[in-house]
């Protein structure tokens, strides 16, 4: 079928709207009419080839839309259902079978390599040239996307569908890193480094968890003010002071939970150093491939735990509907992070996100 898609053909962009040909859904696939798609930092680092995905490609991995057609084997959704698209996992490796699908052994190829899970190319341009698709098992920067039953999450019809796409990645990553991965007990303290979409979602997650000290660290005062608005109890501008010393002062010796969302290696060092004995540090922000940091082994030896967290360690079919319900009850106001753009403003949305003037751009794709 013919679709409109935003193609990145060269390192650094731009996104160019083109008419493309999308394949029919396979047995385990779902054809989704995309209503809106969030834009995530990972779309931009793939465009810029910090993550060297093959180009040309249609990126986008926070799709929200309406099921148009399902493959023969699909049972979870039917045409007309409202869905959020999330990351692809295989469902048959040991991690998926044990319920930890964010550690899926087959995560890489169907999420990043531009091919469907069976290795086929599902998108072509008007000249018949192959276009990388199936980005995060979706490629949602298009008027239609092919997802899989496993990464298609049904959502209720009484919440605005155009708002929900970011629950598929950035928002679930931030909130889930706190609620599913670090799991701080009520009354505990957490420091969240970075106040972008992921970090601010983590702040909201920490409020839901009942943390009574929530420290947001960033280098922009407007973001820190936003974090306060969302429930941070303390803010630290790391451009003006030393966050490690300030956290130690605030907590009387170091914090038990720290989350690094900025993707800056030096900030990860600060997150580690801000913890007390037994502290746990979550790595969420993605720096360029090959980035390393020095770690003081004896510092870690005192029961500290450093862990990576992918996609908020969530089981999307369970966690995304929970976030929708929390939003509906006014306990998870992630809509405050969103600014809408028309599909043909996609490059402006990307630029605003990079400048930091928009926290979570969402593209309205089909009216």
- Cα atoms in the Cβ-side hemisphere of radius 13 Å centred on 169: 28
Q: Which of 20, 30, 169, 268 binds Zn ion (CB under 5 A)?
A: 169
CB 314 to ligand CXF: min, Å: 11
Of 279 and 312, which CB lies nearer to Zn ion in the complex structure? 312
DSSP code at position 313: G
Name the strand (E) or helix (H) holding 221.
helix 221-230
Binding mask 24-43 for Zn ion (x = CB under 5 A): ----------------x-x-
Binding mask 146-175 for ligand CXF (x = CB under 6 A): -----------------------x------
Of 40 and 155, which CB lies nearer to ligand CXF in the complex structure? 40
How big is the site for ligand CXF, counted in residues (CB under 6 A)? 6
| Lookup result for tokens 């209503």 | 35
Binding mask 263-302 for ligand CXF (x = CB under 6 A): -----------------------x----------------
CB 116 to Zn ion: min, Å: 19
Report how far apart, in Å, the C-alpha atoms of 52 and of each of 14, 65, 327, 349 are: 16, 28, 35, 22
The verdict on whether omega for the bond into residue 56 sits within 30 degrees of 0, i.e. cis, is yes
3-state helix vs strand vs coil in the chain, percent to 5: 35, 25, 40
Per-residue HEC secondary structure of 118-143 comes to CCCCCEEECCCCEEECCHHHCCCCEC
CB 302 to ligand CXF: min, Å: 29
CB 216 to Zn ion: min, Å: 20
Spatial distance between the Cα atoms of 62 and 161, rounded to a whole number of angstroms: 12
- Residue 300: how many CB atoms within 10 A of its CB? 15
Of 276 and 310, which CB lies nearer to ligand CXF in the complex structure? 310
- Our CA dihedral for 107, 209, 158, 139, rounded to 10 degrees, sits at -20
The verdict on whether omega for the bond into residue 352 sits within 30 degrees of 0, i.e. cis, is no
Q: Which of 146, 217, 310, 365 binds ligand CXF (CB under 6 A)?
A: 310
Residue 311 near residue 42, CB atoms below 8 Å: no
Q: By beta-carbon distance, which residue lies closest to Zn ion?
A: 40
Q: Which of 7, 8, 22, 40 binds ligand CXF (CB under 6 A)?
A: 40
Of 40 and 209, which CB lies nearer to ligand CXF in the complex structure? 40
Residue 111 interacts with Zn ion (CB under 5 A): yes or no = no
Of 102 and 122, which CB lies nearer to ligand CXF in the complex structure? 102
Q: State the residues that interact with ligand CXF by CB under 6 A.
A: 40, 42, 169, 286, 310-311
């Amino acid at each position: 079928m013919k679709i409109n898609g935003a193609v990145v053909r060269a390192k650094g962009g731009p996104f160019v709207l083109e008419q493309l040909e999308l394949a029919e859904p396979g047995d385990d696939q779902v054809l989704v009419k995309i209503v809106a798609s969030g834009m995530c930092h990972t779309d931009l680092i793939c465009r810029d080839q910090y993550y060297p995905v093959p180009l040309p490609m249609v990126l986008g991995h926070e799709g929200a839309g309406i099921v148009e057609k399902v493959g023969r084997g699909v049972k979870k959704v039917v045409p007309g259902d409202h869905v959020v698209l999330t990351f692809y996992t295989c469902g048959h490796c040991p991690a998926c079978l044990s319920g930890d699908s964010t550690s899926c052994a087959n995560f890489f190829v169907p999420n990043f390599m531009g091919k469907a899970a069976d290795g086929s190319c599902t998108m072509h341009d008007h000249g018949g040239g192959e276009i990388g698709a199936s980005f995060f098992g979706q490629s949602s920067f298009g008027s239609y996307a092919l997802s899989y039953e496993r990464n298609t999450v049904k959502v209720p019809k009484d919440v605005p569908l155009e708002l929900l796409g970011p629950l598929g990645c950035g928002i679930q990553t931030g909130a889930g890193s706190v609620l599913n991965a670090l799991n701080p007990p009520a009354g505990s303290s957490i420091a969240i480094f970075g106040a972008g979409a992921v970090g601010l979602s983590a702040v909201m997650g920490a409020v839901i968890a009942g943390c009574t000290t929530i420290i947001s660290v960033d280098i922009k005062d407007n973001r820190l003010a936003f974090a306060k608005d969302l429930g941070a109890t303390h803010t630290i501008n790391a451009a003006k002071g030393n966050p490690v010393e300030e956290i130690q002062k605030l907590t009387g010796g170091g914090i038990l939970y720290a989350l690094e969302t900025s993707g800056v290696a030096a900030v990860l060092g600060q997150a580690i150093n801000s913890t007390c004995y037994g502290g746990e540090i979550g790595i969420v922000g993605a720096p360029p491939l090959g980035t390393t940091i020095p770690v003081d082994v004896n510092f870690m030896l005192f029961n500290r735990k450093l862990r990576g967290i992918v996609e908020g360690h969530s089981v999307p079919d369970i966690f995304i509907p929970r976030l929708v319900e929390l939003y509906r009850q006014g306990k998870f106001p992630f809509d405050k992070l969103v600014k809408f753009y028309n599909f043909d403003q996609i490059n402006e949305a990307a630029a605003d996100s990079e400048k930091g003037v928009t926290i979570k751009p969402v593209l309205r794709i089909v009216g």
